[in-house]
Amino acid sequence: MPVNVLIIDDSAVMRKILERSVRQARMQIGNVVEASDGVEALKRLGEAGDGIGLIFCDVNMPNMDGLEFLKQVKDADFRKVPVVMVTTEGTEAKVMQALSLGAAGYIRKPFTAEQMQEVLGRLFP
Q: CA-CA distance, 37 to 30, in Å (whole number)?
A: 22
By rule CB under 8 A, what string of x and - marks binding of each residue 39-78 to another protein? ---------------------xxx----------------
- Do 11 and 61 form a contact (C-beta atoms < 8 A)? no
Please identify, among the stretches 7-15, 47-55, 76-84, 96-104, the one whose residues bind another protein according to the rule CB under 8 A: 7-15
Dihedral through CA 61, CA 75, CA 120, CA 59, nearest 10? 10
- Do 70 and 43 form a contact (C-beta atoms < 8 A)? no
Length of the chain: 125
Please identify, among the stretches 4-12, 46-54, 68-76, 116-124, the one whose residues bind another protein according to the rule CB under 8 A: 4-12
Q: CA-CA distance, 3 to 14, in Å (whole number)?
A: 20
Site for another protein in 86-115 (CB under 8 A): 87-91, 109-112
Compare residues 50 and 91 and give the one whose CB is closer to another protein. 91
Please report which residue ranges of 25-112 form alpha helices under DSSP H. Answer: 38-48, 66-74, 92-100
23 binds another protein (CB under 8 A): no
How many residues interact with another protein (rule CB under 8 A)?
A: 20
Contact residues toward another protein (CB under 8 A) are 10-14, 16-17, 20, 60-62, 87-91, 109-112
